[in-house]
Chains A and B, each alone.
Chain A
Amino acid sequence: MSAQPTEAAATGRPLVVVDGVTLRFGGVVSLDDVSLEQHPGEILSVIGPNGAGKTSLFNCLTGVYTPQQGGITFASTRDGATREHSLVGMKPHDITRLGIARTFQNIRLFNALTAFENVKIGVEAHQRTGPVGAMLRLPRTRREEREGDARTLELLDFVGLRSRANEVSASLPYGGQRRLEIARALGTSPQLLLLDEPAAGTTGAEKIELAELIRRIRTEMGVMVLLIEHDMRLVMSVTDRVVVLNFGRVIAAGSPADVQRDPAVIEAYLGTAGTEGEAR
């Protein structure tokens, strides 16, 4: 973990740098020398056919997997100072507390808990109440509980689920669960939010709402978004830049319109046209 406090905005340094990351599972190469950058203020999309390595990239970024080669650095800003951290080898919970939150491709909510409790668990990531404080209800515990409740309600409001706060999360409709997972991730006060196919399985109307939500995450919360998505219309409508993966390699990068015209990208998608109807 290298640490040099600097002025982030002034230098315009990237928020995340993925540098030559290679991840193998036995003989399968999920990520092959992948490099990419995300700059502050930017919404970046990662697209690619099934099995291209998109989720693997997220798992490397969040410490679930440790790549065999390459480096990942994240410029985390706390209290006005920015420090660069190398994420390789860090534990997932430490990365979350550093400022990278995520959602999962196959929703992973705490199913037996209410929507409120789900978000509150996220909000409590930076609190400090321990067992003694909790048992004796010390002043700090009570303050943190109050603040946590307020923040949780704010976030439920933000994603439009406040009226369903006390429902068990598994009973929410699919689109609602996706938004709840986003609220939970936002609860950890991230600087970067990784969304893994947030529109999968949602209806057309929900997709439009989702695009709006992603824009608001940037404008109202100041949180950058790294998006994995198959739905090209959603990608086109919210992203500044697109990186295309295929068989674990970056095959194209650029504006959404440029990328769509790129012959290599068309080739990659045509090669798997049978399985990949959505993204064209």
Chain B
Amino acid sequence: MTVSEAARPGGPTRTRELLQHRELRRLLGWLGGGVLLAVMTGPQGVIGQPTYAISHALRGGHLVTCLVVGVVMWGLSVGWSHGRESVHAGLAEPRAQLRTAWEQPAVRRGFYLVLLALAIFLPRLTGQFWQGVLVEQIGIYALLALGLNIVVGFAGLLDLGYVAFYAIGAYTTAYFTDTLPVHPPFTINPFLVIPFAVLAAMLAGLILGAPTLRLRGDYLAIVTLGFGEIITILAVNLDSITNGSRGAFGIPSFSIRLPSWLGGWHYEWGLSSLPYYYLLLGFTVTILVLFHLLENSRVGRAWVAIREDEVAAQACGIPPVKYKLMAFAIGASTSGFAGVLYASKISFINPSSFTVSASILILVLVIFGGMGSLFGSVVGAAVVQWFFKYVQKNNGAPIPLIHKKLPIDVQDLYMYVGALLILMMIFRPQGIVPSRRRAREISMAEHGIGGADAMAAPVGSPTP
């Protein structure tokens, strides 16, 4: 190709010009996506024939279907970006009205009240299975995502070992309820373990963060990743303390017993999901409110300042290390808190719940919902976790309406989540419920405002 084109004057430049054409590049991208889709949804591999799955996936009608999907997607994306301006113009008026309405505190409060009412009635509309999902998958992960959002979204730190603090919370609960091989000095109800677990997780966060937060951001990601692994490995191997990979059994559920002089009233959360759901709802709403207040305070603004421009933040009297550590510790405590809830709801824990992939999953929830958006964390947890469970439950079952089987393999779930995340990064990097500040930052970065700066590189002491 190169030879024949080089023979014609201007040949290669022509090709290059064509390639520079935006729509063509996009079409090629979508076609590539189509091929990927064909491979992903193609037949399973055969042992001894390494090329079987790929060659069969790229054969015949299946590939054509996927390529057509790619072309259709391309057409949609072209139409979308062309239509965007006119649609934007047409929507400007109603959008502005919506925004002014949203500025009214009463409207906002009303909206949140309606949502709360929905959340209260939601579990009544579903069966036991989904009630369990609402607690174990959605509720607890919403709490985890809220905490991680403080670290990632507010302070802009990448924590890849977040689940380690969750494990610390869960194992602290197991310890104080005497379900581990080591015995505590006193046994207490999981409710009363909460302060201990929060404190333990916070301490671990401070010990881990204090030395590493002084370094540049990338080191923190690596150190936290390592810390997450260490905690899991410790949990597996410290047989005499953690009971190894078998874990702890029979962790009691939450219960309240008023002293006898107050009537001796007693309530136990028990094994059914509903009471736990309402408990979690209460905790989640409380934490949402607390973190919202935190975001709009001196501390929250200091985090934004550090995230945007650390040098300028310091010039405003903000000590970056102290504030990063604060975010890290608050995130860790939230994770530890969620660990207590998890341990007492499930009643048994083992190291397999605390792997790196759980950390990544929580990060996905945060990014999906919208970094720096508290409400987004809850929505992200609800949507992604629901999707996971839906696919797992209905694997092999026909989808209503179209009466076809779901072409998704449960083992491939994470792959789809990865693809979803990539699409999000392309089309909606601010997440589904974006925070106003983050959205502004992203649009500014796209327009080249801020970011690169001459003095940003060598802060610190010069060579001696």
Cβ of A125 < 8 Å from any Cβ of B? yes
Taking a contact as CB atoms under 8 Å apart, the answer to whether A129 and B299 are in contact is yes
Give chain B nearest CB distance to A178 CB in angstroms: 14
Cβ of A274 < 8 Å from any Cβ of B? no
Report which of B297, B312, B455, B461 forms a contact with A134, defined as CB distance below 8 A. Answer: B297
Cβ of B463 < 8 Å from any Cβ of A? yes
Q: In the complex, how many residues of chain B place their beta carbon closer than 8 angstroms to a beta carbon of chain A?
A: 41
Known: A104-B312, A135-B290, A144-B298. A112 touches B437 (CB 8 A): yes
Taking a contact as CB atoms under 8 Å apart, the answer to whether A127 and B437 are in contact is no
The CB with the most chain A CB atoms within 10 A, among B291, B317, B462, is that of: B317
Contacts of B454 in A (CB 8 A): 106
Cβ of A146 < 8 Å from any Cβ of B? no
Apart from A124-B302, A130-B326, A134-B294: 11 A-B pairs, beta carbons within 8 A: A25-B463, A59-B455, A64-B314, A65-B462, A96-B314, A112-B437, A112-B440, A125-B316, A129-B297, A131-B299, A185-B315
Taking a contact as CB atoms under 8 Å apart, the answer to whether B305 and A24 are in contact is no
Complex A-B: 15 CB contacts under 8 Å: A64-B314, A64-B455, A64-B459, A91-B319, A101-B315, A102-B315, A108-B309, A108-B453, A111-B449, A113-B437, A117-B304, A121-B301, A121-B302, A134-B297, A145-B298
Return the CB mask of A88-123 against B: 1 if under 8 Å, else 0.
Answer: 000111101100011010101111110001001110
Cβ of B78 < 8 Å from any Cβ of A? no
Contacts of A109 in B (CB 8 A): 309, 312
Taking a contact as CB atoms under 8 Å apart, the answer to whether B298 and A124 are in contact is yes
Give chain A nearest CB distance to B362 CB in angstroms: 21
A273-B239 Cα distance, complex, nearest whole Å: 77
Give chain B nearest CB distance to A75 CB in angstroms: 19
Known: A112-B444, A121-B302. A137 touches B450 (CB 8 A): no
Cβ of B250 < 8 Å from any Cβ of A? no
**A-B residue pair count with CB separations less than 8 angstroms:** 134
A102-B316 Cα distance, complex, nearest whole Å: 9
Cβ of A23 < 8 Å from any Cβ of B? yes
Give chain B nearest CB distance to A227 CB in angstroms: 17
Contacts of B455 in A (CB 8 A): 59, 64, 104, 106
Closest 3 pairs between A and B when the two form their complex, measured CB to CB: A125-B317, A134-B297, A92-B314
Cβ of A239 < 8 Å from any Cβ of B? no
Report which of A68, A94, A104, A137 forms a contact with B464, defined as CB distance below 8 A. Answer: A68
Cβ of A76 < 8 Å from any Cβ of B? no
Taking a contact as CB atoms under 8 Å apart, the answer to whether A131 and B444 are in contact is no
Contacts of A24 in B (CB 8 A): 462-463
Cβ of B358 < 8 Å from any Cβ of A? no
Report which of B291, B317, B461, B464 forms a contact with A65, defined as CB distance below 8 A. Answer: B461
Cβ of B330 < 8 Å from any Cβ of A? yes
Q: Give B319's nearest chain A residue, CB to CB.
A: A93
Cβ of B293 < 8 Å from any Cβ of A? yes
Q: Give B301's nearest chain A residue, CB to CB.
A: A121
Taking a contact as CB atoms under 8 Å apart, the answer to whether A110 and B290 are in contact is no
Give chain A nearest CB distance to B287 CB in angstroms: 9
Contacts of A188 in B (CB 8 A): 316-317
Contacts of B453 in A (CB 8 A): 106, 108
Contacts of B302 in A (CB 8 A): 121, 124
Cβ of B441 < 8 Å from any Cβ of A? yes
Report which of B294, B312, B319, B464 forms a contact with A110, defined as CB distance below 8 A. Answer: B312
Taking a contact as CB atoms under 8 Å apart, the answer to whether A130 and B317 are in contact is no
Cβ of A66 < 8 Å from any Cβ of B? yes
Taking a contact as CB atoms under 8 Å apart, the answer to whether B299 and A110 are in contact is no
Name B residues whose Cβ lies closer than 8 Å to a Cβ of A. 290-291, 293-294, 297-302, 304-305, 308-309, 311-320, 326, 330, 437-438, 440-441, 444, 449-450, 453-455, 459, 461-464
Known: A25-B463, A93-B317, A122-B316. A108 touches B297 (CB 8 A): no
Contacts of B441 in A (CB 8 A): 111-112
Contacts of B301 in A (CB 8 A): 113, 117, 120-121, 124
A135-B333 Cα distance, complex, nearest whole Å: 15
Report which of A92, A110, A134, A136 forms a contact with B305, defined as CB distance below 8 A. Answer: A110
Taking a contact as CB atoms under 8 Å apart, the answer to whether B304 and A112 are in contact is yes
Cβ of A263 < 8 Å from any Cβ of B? no
Known: A24-B462, A121-B302, A124-B302. A131 touches B315 (CB 8 A): no
Give chain A nearest CB distance to B127 CB in angstroms: 37
Q: Give B456's nearest chain A residue, CB to CB.
A: A108
Cβ of A268 < 8 Å from any Cβ of B? no
A97-B319 Cα distance, complex, nearest whole Å: 10
Contacts of B318 in A (CB 8 A): 93, 121, 125
Taking a contact as CB atoms under 8 Å apart, the answer to whether A110 and B463 are in contact is no
Give chain A nearest CB distance to B293 CB in angstroms: 5
Taking a contact as CB atoms under 8 Å apart, the answer to whether A110 and B304 are in contact is yes
- Within A51-86, which residues are at the interface with B (CB < 8 Å)? 59, 62, 64-66, 68
A127-B316 Cα distance, complex, nearest whole Å: 12
Contacts of B437 in A (CB 8 A): 112-113
A117-B440 Cα distance, complex, nearest whole Å: 14
Cβ of A241 < 8 Å from any Cβ of B? no
Taking a contact as CB atoms under 8 Å apart, the answer to whether A135 and B312 are in contact is no
Return the CB mask of A144-167 against B: 1 if under 8 Å, else 0.
Answer: 110010000000000000000000
Cβ of A184 < 8 Å from any Cβ of B? yes
Contacts of B291 in A (CB 8 A): 135
Taking a contact as CB atoms under 8 Å apart, the answer to whether A113 and B299 are in contact is no
A127-B297 Cα distance, complex, nearest whole Å: 11
Contacts of A66 in B (CB 8 A): 461-462
Contacts of B438 in A (CB 8 A): 112
Cβ of A126 < 8 Å from any Cβ of B? yes
Cβ of A204 < 8 Å from any Cβ of B? no
The CB with the most chain B CB atoms within 10 A, among A65, A91, A131, A137, is that of: A131
Contacts of B450 in A (CB 8 A): 111-112, 170
A28-B297 Cα distance, complex, nearest whole Å: 43
